[in-house]
Amino acid sequence: MALLEIENLTKDFDAPTSYFGSGPKRGQPGALIRAVDDVSLEISAGETLGVVGESGCGKSTLGRMILRLIDPTSGVIRFNGQEIQNLQGRALRNMRQRIQIVFQDPFSSLDPRMRVQEILAEPLIVQGQKRNAAKRISELLTMVGLDPAFGGRYPHEFSGGQRQRIGIARALALNPDLVVLDEPVSALDVSIQAQVLNLLSELQNNLGVAFLFIAHDLAVVHHISDRIAVMYLGRVIETGAANQIYSDPQHPYTKALLSAVPDPNPQKERKRERIVLSGDLPSSSAPPSGCTFRTRCWLAEDICAAQIPLLVMNPNGRQVACHLVNARSSSD
């Protein structure tokens, strides 16, 4: 049984109105923004699932629904076999011991008025584990590579990478089974990114925790993930093992994303063929008919405008939502 299962998860937001209140009314075209559209995924214990896509594709909204920071419009979320999308009160609070989050910005995710030891003690106090808090705080700081003596300092006394380590320590305070990492290294320098990614890998090996790693950089996701799910305009369009996705992308959008990843080998970089997508990301309030990627796809055919492609398992064990790729696989 998977640790986390999500089935047909969808999230709609009301479209913003103007200062004077004008705009489409509920029930009219454009009144809703579909941030996440019929997404189904699963994560096994101790596994890292990378979710990648450009800004606005619904990655962070997906992560927040799993944590129940926002409620889904429809769909099912199962954690350890229990449906959690409707949990309330004490049951929801108990569930949140098992699922934690590390936010993108280490500067705004820590309360500047609290010392580090107070930040790390807060989840322990909320969950009634105050008795051994001092010992646990020392363990957590050591675990993420910081001196326990730093517990008396304020967040502004740390660098960006150190603050993110504190955020990771806070997420691990209650020994969760799953941590949602919402672009945890995108605000850090490249050299610091590598250190944090290595730390996360080490922690996972030692603790057996599962990660949902959200990012827009495929190179970063490939470094840490066991499997990857590629999202575009709220939908998952390709999933597979990280090495498979990176070495042999199937969906045209995945190919375009990978073509933008620079190669450290200068000779290969000069010969690399980059795919430049035309046009802008369509609006979530008025997506194109059929395949939402077709307006930017250089391979699009008539069927792409007429039918929404389903996420289909092909013979090589990959799931791809593309009419042309799936037709080619079925004919092989």
Q: What confidence tens digit (pLDDT) does each residue in 293-322 have?
A: 999 999 999 999 999 999 988 877 789 999
Q: Identify the weakest region by mean pLDDT among 122-131, 164-173, 303-312.
A: 122-131
Higher pLDDT, 314 or 150: 150
Sign of CA pseudo-dihedral 297, 312, 221, 83: positive
d(CA 236, CA 120): 35
Q: Work out the pLDDT band at 175, boundaries 50, 70, 90.
A: very high
The mean pLDDT value for 91-95 works out to: 88
d(CA 197, CA 39): 27
The 10 Å Cβ neighbour count of residue 273 is 5
Q: What is the pLDDT of residue 316?
A: 75
| 179 within 8 A of 101, measured Cβ to Cβ | yes
Closest CA to 11 of 65, 53, 59: 65
The mean pLDDT value for 260-285 works out to: 77
The 10 Å Cβ neighbour count of residue 143 is 17
Quote the pTM value: 0.91
Q: Work out the pLDDT band at 89, boundaries 50, 70, 90.
A: confident
Per the prediction, the chain carries an average pLDDT of: 89
Q: What is the pLDDT of residue 22?
A: 55
Closest CA to 309 of 288, 285, 282: 288
- Answer whether residue 29 shows pLDDT above 70: no
- State how far the alpha carbon of 105 is from the alpha carbons of 101, 164, 248, 259, in Å: 12, 8, 32, 27
Q: What is the H or E stretch that residue 304 is in?
A: helix 302-306
Reported in sequence order, the residue ranges of the chain that DSSP labels E, i.e. its strands, are 4-14, 32-43, 48-52, 74-79, 82-83, 99-102, 178-182, 210-215, 227-232, 235-241, 312-313, 319-320
